[in-house]
Each structure stands twice: as C-alpha cells, then as structure tokens.
A and B are shown apart, each in its own frame.
Chain A
C-alpha cells in the first residue's frame, strides 16, 4: 500500500482532470488500509490544500479547485462509511456571502471543509449586515467565514465587526477584494483572511 504522500499525488492528478472514476477507485483501494479519519484528515486535506495553493500561485484554475472539492464531497457520501465519519470537534462555524450573489468562493470553501471532516452552517448569500449579525448571535457562532466578490461588500465588514464587537466571534474573510488588496482584511477589522480550503482549515484549527 502506498504511503499518504504518494496517494496525495495520485488523487491530485485524478482530481485535476476531473476523473471521478479514478478518484473513486483510489478511495476504494485505500479504505481498507487507512481509517476514514486518515482519509479525510490526511489524504483529502493535503490534496485539496495542494490544489488550492496551486490556484494561488497560478498553476491551477479556479474551476479545478471547485470541481476537486465537489468530487471529494461526493466521494464522502458515496464511498466512505457514514458511521465511521467522526466530525471534527471545532468551534461552531458558519459561512456566508455578504451582500452579493457570487457563490463560488463560498461553495469552494464549504466543499473543502466538508471533505476534510468539518461541519459548518451555511447562512446563504445576499445577506445584509444586520441579518448576518442576527444569524450569528442566534446560532451562537464562534467562527464566521465571509466570502465577498465585490469591493463594496468587503468594506461592509467593518460595520459587521463593529456590531459584533461585544461578542467573541472571529471574523474570517476571503474573496477577490482581499486577494487584490492584501491589507484590506486588517482595514475592515477582520480577524483573519484566507484564500483556499487549507487556509480555512488552518484558521479553524488555530481557533479550536
């Protein structure tokens, strides 16, 4: 049986060309040698992390990042025994799109985290600041992940932060405006910024 690093390479190769069949066969061969936690926590996390990093440095495309996350999510439902999936313990986390309707970034992070064994609430999209404050407090969220595509949406996070100042909620942001202006997350008062699934994972682990 190959070690995890070799399996990561194989899975990465198959995900990048969106070969669902090859990915499924790979998981079926390793499922008897590795625990579900190892498959989620090591194999999927490392592979999706590499692909996400590849997008950031211009090697891979966003479509490959998105489809990889979706395929891994489907594999969890189809191949991995549900009873053996132990969702990771983490602070209560939610994800959303603030103000606009651009869902892709949120979907990518959501898929990536689910494929890595994390559970999180999806607050949806097109939310205004007050809606989001209400949802966050009512659901006792500790980590709020916010995706934005438009600069005006990103700037609204400042107001969100002010309204949540008396809570212990950590605001984690991501999306194009933060990618193109690397200081923006600090300016709006976010606690952290991430650009891919691995970043999101590292941030959740940091706050756990």
Chain B
C-alpha cells in the first residue's frame, strides 16, 4: 500500500497494512536544509524540499507543508515575530479596538504573497507525489483565529461581553476560512486540518461552545469542498465528542491529557482518531522510552483501523531530536503492522 491507500483504509475503519504515521514536523525542514527558520519559511521551495526530505527520512505518511499559525495573521497585515528556536508567533494584535471589527475585510487569497507561498508549496508537492501521499492543508478556525487577531484575553471578553461584535468578526473570519481552505484544496491539498483549540472544553465552557464554536465549525466545514480533520491542539475532546461528530469532520486530533482508548471507543465508526504523543515531553525521551510510548499507543488505539499515530498538538517542537523522531518511526514500522500482535 502507498501512504494514500493506507490512510484511506484507516479512515474507512478498516485495518490497512500498517498504522499510518503523521509526523507533524514543520521546522525540522530548516534543519535538513541547514537554514535558519526565517530563511526556511521565506520561500515555498524550501518548504517543499524540506517536506520531501522529512517524509523520506522518517518514512511517515503525510506531507505537511504548514508554515506557521501566524501566517494567517501576517496575511491580514498583522505583526509576526521570528525566532531562532521556535515557530514564528503573532506579535501585537492588529485589532486594537472592537470598533475596528465592523470595517474588517479579509485578505484576498489570490493577491496575497504570504498565502501564495503556502499555495505554491502545496501545488509543487502535488505535482511530485500525485495521489500517492496525502498532503495536508491547514486553516485556523474562524473561532480560534481571533486569539491572534485580538489577543486571548480581549477575545474572551469579546465572546462573553460583546456578542454583536463577536458575530460580526465570525462572519468575516468564516468567509476567509472557507476561501482559504478551498484554495488549498484547489492547489492539491488532500484534506484540510481545521485548527480549533478554543472549541476545546479546556478553553471554553461547553454551554458557550454550543452557541459559538460548534455552530461555526458546522457551518464552515459544510462549505469546505473536501475532507477535514478538526484538531484541538492539545485540548480535551471527550466532553464534546458528540458535537465534534456532528460538525461533519472525518478526523479528530486528540490530546495526551485524555485516555485514547476511551476516545477511540467513542469515535469508532464515526471519526478517525489522530494522536496523541506528548510533543513537549518528547524532547527529553530516550529512544527506548519513545518506542514504549508508541507501542502502548498502538496497542490501545490501533486495532480495527480508524487511527493515525501522531503527536497531540499538531506541530512537533523544534527541540525534539532527529534520534527520537527516528525512534518513533521505527517503532511504528516494527509494532504497527496489522493485524496488531498481542504484545
């Protein structure tokens, strides 16, 4: 089986030849090319070459030409800070007053050089791998993007205290998100990762989620012209599993904070589970410990299909060594062949 077939089989809740591995490495491409992160992310060509080297090195099952979360804010004209040792971050929020919201207009994908870098990376990868390897496009959900647009504290106050302005912001953000997702699919992305940490019960109470993030995800995903995977970026999912299923997504990225066996049981037949190695702790794992973690995860979550092994956040820290990433890959190849042995 090639990677595409492997992933499609597990998404059908059948057992492929091996557990698919989605190693969400973004910045490690810079290491492969011997570049600074700033230089690496300045060109789609670098990201293409980086991703091709990474998938070959780690024998994983997806291409992940995700630049960084703050790319969308950069496209809107916001400030981005680059670091030597970590992902670029959004700087000072560009919405300084709630009054700005009524005049907000989203960036146009076709004319935006920042977004076009991502589009070009996807298109070039598609030309190379065709339909043999899934290519993941990424969007920040309309409900989570405002953390960078406004700042987290001011966004929470908007949600609870300024409902009219909140609704206006969601309309603008939904328009952008749908356009951005569909542009990536048109360029050749196989599916869209819908990053929505604010929807997690870790961040927002369920009552508010039902009135906001859930509705927004359902409406947005309906208009995305391809498969999606909702990722709550280390946030808990179990209290809202039923609602996540109802959004129409096919896959859910899950946290190391929850019992993956319980999640798999709740999801089987409805959502494929993606996760849930602890990326923060991974930095100090030994090769032996990494293998044990992978083995345990496969035992708990792999039987029956409907599972893709990955980290719990959707982006592996730059500080995680190649040695550990190789250990994870080797463990998946050693222990992840179906049928899963009774180990």
Contact = CB atoms under 8 A, between A and B. Distances in A.
Given A63-B203, A67-B160, A181-B284, A103 B153 contact: yes
A197 to B, nearest CB: 15
Interface of A: 16, 18, 55, 58, 60-64, 66-67, 70, 99-104, 107, 126, 150-153, 155, 176-177, 180-181, 183-184, 187
Contact of A100 (B89, B157, B278): B89
17 contacts: A61-B201, A61-B203, A61-B204, A61-B206, A101-B91, A103-B151, A126-B81, A151-B317, A152-B83, A152-B85, A152-B86, A152-B317, A152-B319, A155-B319, A176-B280, A180-B279, A180-B280
A79 to B, nearest CB: 19
Interface residues of B, number: 36
Given A58-B257, A126-B91, A180-B234, 6 more contacts: A61-B202, A63-B204, A176-B234, A181-B284, A183-B284, A184-B280
B246 interface: no
A96 B157 CA distance: 21
B86 A58 contact: no
A62 B257 CA distance: 15
Q: What are the 6 closest A-B residue pairs judged by CB atoms, nearest first? A: A152-B86, A180-B280, A104-B152, A152-B85, A61-B205, A181-B281
Contacts, number: 85
Nearest to A179: B280
Nearest to B278: A180
A181 B319 CA distance: 14
Contacts of A181: 278, 280-281, 283-284
A61 B213 CA distance: 14
Given A102-B152, A103-B153, A150-B87, A63 B205 contact: yes
A62 B234 contact: no
A18 B159 CA distance: 12
Nearest to A105: B152
Interface in B77-100: 81, 83, 85-87, 89-92
A58 B236 contact: yes
B300 interface: no
A63 B160 contact: yes
Contact of A151 (B91, B202, B236, B319): B319
